[in-house]
Chains A and B, each alone.
Chain A
Amino acid sequence: MKYDRILIRYGEMTTKGRNRNHFVVHLKRNIKRKLKRFPNIKIESMRDRMYILLNGEPHEDIIEQLKTVFGIHSFSLAMKCENDLEQIKATALAAVEQLPHKGKTFKVSAKRADKQFPFSSNELNYEIGSYILRNTDSLTVNVHEPDINVRVEVRKDGTYVTCRDIPGAGGLPVGTSGKAMLMLSGGIDSPVAGYLAMKRGLKIEAVHFFSPPFTSERAKQKVIDLVKKLTKFGGKIKLHIVPFTDIQQEIHKQVPDGYSLISSRRMMLKITDALRQKYNGLAIVTGESLGQVASQTLESMTVINDVTTTPILRPLVSMDKTEIIKIAKDIDTHDISILPYEDCCTIFTPSAPKTKPKKEKVIHYESFIDLTPLVEEAIANTETLVIDEQFATVDEFEQLF
């Protein structure tokens, strides 16, 4: 007897009422997409949990994949048998024997959801526990802090045995909260912001500002690589690459040094907002953290934010840099982010940007330039890439491998 299914427990979605199905359907779709490589699996979804029937597919690989799917609170390898005491005992024993159990302690936690079943949960605990004890050598009982907790659930459709809970990624299924545009620079913060946005169920499309020849193809590649890392959590992600050189040069020419940074941030936000409208997003996600740099003081944020009324989500707003770096390392974007190429944030940075800019002043400076056609041109020339986990930029290499 071997583990034949994986039991998935929902995260926060269980608090949903009549719209819960919406969440379940999304989660099922996301899991299915993630496990595309395993054609034989079957996913059964219910109101309060989901089962993946393995049908011979390798559970180790599937477990690794599931850890990146948002909306899962935890999951466990499970075995199913009929509601028959002898079968339940044998199944529970087999479940324990498949784990490293030599010298470990265990307990049985039986639950009898099906009240028609003739044994109470206490009787079940006793029966199953003593059966396991009799049939193993070095396993002992510890009901307070067991190494292995054998969970037995007797339900109407059968009995499920699980031994180990693996924590899931938490959050809400990607796509259930709608769509937002992520402003992705290539630094450490913005990919983390994107990750956290997806964790709350947002589907994201990334927007990157590209200023050739000041920023190189390598900076672009870096952003593509970052998006590729994020696709691990969010499936396919669109990346919009906006040519920004002309605007930046124009601002550099017309706006005094202290204000040029604020002004270019305003333009970036404006363009992102236009793209958001074009692609039916509802919000904009940024990696801003309060007080981190000049453009992230509350005064600067107010002036920058003034160009739009679209909700701007700043998942990192209250985080310290060290906390952000920790997440970046966990999601594997950190090492890409720290590659030393110039990007849209580092180039044209004035030596002393204003930390308390005035809105009137910015508007005054900007009034000398006609940015509208430049903005329109940038949007029209935006290049859009659809990136997934297998994305390779250069098809010309295909023959080589």
Chain B
Amino acid sequence: MIYLDNSATTKPFPEVVDSFVTVATKYFGNPSSLHELGMKAEQLLTQSREQIAKSLGVKPSEIIFTSGGTEANNFAIKGVALTYRHRGNHIITTAIEHPSITEPCRQLEELGFDVSYLSVDKTGRVNIDELVKTIRDDTILVSIMHVNNEIGSIQPIEEIGQLLTQYPKILFHVDHVQGIGKVPLQFHKAHIDLCTMSAHKFHGLRGAGILYVRDGVRLSPLLAGGGQEMQRRSGTENVAAIVAMAKALRMSLEKYRERIAYLWDVKKTWIRELQAIPDIQVNTPLEHSAPHIINFSLNGLKSEVFVHELAKQDIFVSTTSACSSKKKAPSKTLLAMGADQKRAESAVRVSLSFENTLEEIPIAIRAMKEAIQKLQEVTR
């Protein structure tokens, strides 16, 4: 099997699954219970929080565990909107965000909030000047993703954070789901107020995510109830998945240090090989892009059939992002980058992890060439 869909989800590390199983069977108590078993669970939670905070260079009190990236993004957007609505009702985000950002924004628009969507250039990056022009007196939130999930472009988060320090009333949220463990981001240096991460994108398990909330930022809870997570996110904590996430994050960051250079080799080789295929247009720029995402178009061929064709050979890639692929819509990011309809509709994404190797490339490329040939015969 050659798994090339790591931006959809990653294969959990076996050690991470072991931790999950141990915690789920041995320390299944509710962390809020007073007895021994509850206390063990609470200690596990505390230790996870401390370890994660340490590896991110922030305080434990700034880490809020959520059920995943979607909840964390919703919490950030809606929490800020509800808490700070007296300051204004203008939100700025980009045209290429994940649906878990754009949909909450759309919901807020129905409630009377005003949302501006920044455009991106041909390389999938926002323009700082445009951001400056879009900022208004009543802007309360700027939400920008670090690494784009479809084409892998990296936004200038540090520059934006630096710029926003001139607007003390604006909070800065970063969707770091695709970046964590692949593209380093220093929260303090980038002046980030809120930051989303999700465990299953770095070899953890589904059901656990993180919202970093800088000390001093108040957020009206999305889930009200028993007051877990420092009164900000109620619901019995998913201790097993959270412990597994702490371990997955530690291991991923270690992998990053050991293998990032190799991952770049793999990506560059991929791009070189893909560019050599006449019917393929590579959409991911080499500059300012993440080391693990390669997006290309099939010159109008149906990408869905292409994905199935490769799956027959046990090679797994995806059409656009997994979350949009069921809608059969053209790639939103590619359209925003100015690609034509045909190109946006036939996009395919290869997304890597540190487990992928150079040796896989010739096998996958051969399969791709065959698939293209087959498709061309059918469509003609």
Q: What residues of chain A have their CB less than 8 Å away from a CB belonging to chain B?
A: 216-218, 221, 341, 392-394, 397, 399-401
Q: Nearest CB to that of B43 among chain A residues? A: A394
Q: Which residues of the partner chain A approach B356 to less than 8 Å between Cβ atoms?
A: none
Closest Cβ of chain B to A357, distance in Å, is: 34
Verify A221–B39 contact, CB threshold 8 A. yes
B43 touching A401 by the CB < 8 A rule?
no
Contact A400/B23 with A218-B39, A394-B40, A394-B43 known, Cβ cut-off 8 Å: yes
How far is B51's CA from A216's CA once the two chains are assembled, in angstroms? 26
- Are B247's CB and A401's CB within 8 A? yes
Residue of A218, A221, A341 most packed against chain B (CB within 10 A): A218
Q: Is the CB of A218 within 8 A of B47?
A: no
Which residues does chain B contribute within 8 Å of A399, judged by CB atoms? 19, 22
C-alpha gap A401/B254 in the complex (Å): 13
Contact B34 A400 (CB under 8 A): no
Please determine whether B34 and A218 come into contact, CB atoms closer than 8 angstroms: yes
10 shortest interchain CB distances as A-B pairs: A400-B19, A218-B39, A400-B243, A217-B39, A401-B247, A401-B246, A217-B36, A401-B51, A394-B43, A400-B22
Interface of chain B residues 223 through 267 with chain A (CB within 8 A): 243, 246-247, 250
Could you name 19 residue pairs across A and B whose Cβ atoms are closer than 8 Å?
A216-B34, A216-B35, A217-B39, A218-B39, A221-B43, A341-B34, A392-B47, A393-B43, A394-B40, A394-B43, A399-B22, A400-B19, A400-B22, A400-B23, A400-B247, A401-B19, A401-B47, A401-B48, A401-B247
**Interface size bracket, B side:** 10 to 19
- A335 CB to closest chain B CB (Å) equals 8
Q: Are A401 and B39 in contact (CB under 8 A)?
A: no
Does the CB pair A401–B34 fall under 8 Å? no
- B271 CB–A CB distance under 8 Å: no
Q: Cβ of B40: which chain A residues have Cβ within 8 Å of it?
A: 394
B2 touches A (CB below 8 Å): no
Give the nearest-CB partner of A216 in chain B: B34
Contact across chains for A397 and B47 when beta carbons are under 8 A apart? yes
Chain A residues, Cβ within 8 Å of B51: 401
Q: Could you say which of A341, A393, A394, A401 has the most chain B C-beta atoms within 10 Å of its C-beta?
A: A401
- Determine the chain B residues whose CB is within 8 A of the CB of A217 once the complex forms: 36, 39
Check A397–B44 contact: CB distance below 8 A: yes
Residue in A216, A341, A397 whose CB lies within 8 Å of B43: A397
Residue of A nearest to B51 (CB): A401
- How many angstroms between the C-alpha atoms of A217 and B48 in the bound complex? 20
Which residues of B line the A interface, CB within 8 A? 19, 22-23, 34-36, 39-40, 43-44, 47-48, 51, 243, 246-247, 250
Contacts of A397 in B (CB 8 A): 43-44, 47
User: Are A400 and B43 within 8 A (Cβ)?
Assistant: no
Given A218-B39, A400-B19, 17 new contacts (CB under 8 A): A216-B35, A216-B39, A218-B34, A221-B39, A221-B43, A341-B34, A392-B47, A394-B40, A397-B43, A397-B44, A399-B19, A400-B22, A401-B47, A401-B243, A401-B246, A401-B247, A401-B250
Smallest Cβ-Cβ distance to B22: which chain A residue: A400
For B19, list chain A residues within 8 Å (CB). Answer: 399-401
On chain B, the residues within 8 Å of A394 by CB distance are 40, 43
Of the residues A218, A221, A400, contact of B44 by C-beta under 8 Å: A400
Closest Cβ of chain B to A343, distance in Å, is 14
Q: How far apart are the CA atoms of A393 and B34 in the complex, in Å?
A: 17
A242 to B243, CA, bound (A): 33
Q: How far is A400 from B239 in the complex, measured between Cα atoms in Å?
A: 12
Please measure, in the bound complex, the distance between the C-alpha atom of A394 and the C-alpha atom of B37, giving whole angstroms. Answer: 13
Which chain A positions have C-beta within 8 A of B246? 401
Q: Which residues of A contact B243 (CB under 8 A)?
A: 400-401
Residue of B nearest to A332 (CB): B61
Closest to B57 in A: A61
Q: Separation in Å of the A20 CB from the closest CB of chain B?
A: 37
Q: Which residues of A sit under 8 angstroms from B22, Cβ to Cβ?
A: 399-400
CB distance from B148 to the nearest CB of A (A): 31
Nearest-CB residue, chain A, relative to B230: A335
Q: Which residues of B contact A401 (CB under 8 A)?
A: 19, 47-48, 51, 243, 246-247, 250
- In the assembly, what is the distance between CA of A49 and CA of B36, in Å? 50
Once bound together, how far apart are the Cα atoms of A246 and B247, in whole Å? 43
Closest B residue to A340 by CB, please name it. B34
Q: How far is the CA of A216 from the CA of B40 in the complex (A)?
A: 13
Chain A residues near B250 (CB, 8 Å)? Answer: 401
The complex places the Cα of A217 from the Cα of B39 at a distance, in Å, of: 8
Contacts of A392 in B (CB 8 A): 47
Q: Which residue of chain B has its CB nearest to the CB of A398?
A: B47
Output the least CB separation between A61 and chain B (Å). 10
Q: In the complex, what residue of chain B is closest to A60 when comparing beta carbons?
A: B188
Quote the shortest CB–CB distance from B52 to chain A (angstroms): 10
Q: How far is the CA of A216 from the CA of B39 in the complex (A)?
A: 10
Bound CA span A401–B247, Å:
5
Task: Tell me the minimal C-beta distance from A60 to chain B in angstroms.
Answer: 9
Report Cα–Cα, A399/B39, bound state, in Å: 18
Q: Considering the chains assembled together, what is the distance between the CA atoms of A399 and B189 in angstroms? A: 33
B39–chain A nearest beta-carbon distance, Å: 5
- Chain A residues positioned under 8 Å from B247 (CB to CB): 400-401
What's the least CB distance linking A217 to chain B, in Å? 5
**Chain A proximity of B189: nearest CB distance (Å):** 10
What's the nearest-Cβ distance from chain B to residue A84, in Å?
Answer: 36
Enumerate chain A residues within 8 angstroms of B39, measured Cβ to Cβ. 216-218, 221
Rounded to whole Å, the gap between the CB of B187 and the closest CB of chain A is: 14
How far, in whole Å, are A399 and B43 apart by their CA atoms in the complex? 14
Cα distance A341–B42 in the bound complex, in angstroms = 14
**Which B residues are CB-close (under 8 A) to A221?**
39, 43
A392–B54 CA distance with the chains assembled, in angstroms: 15
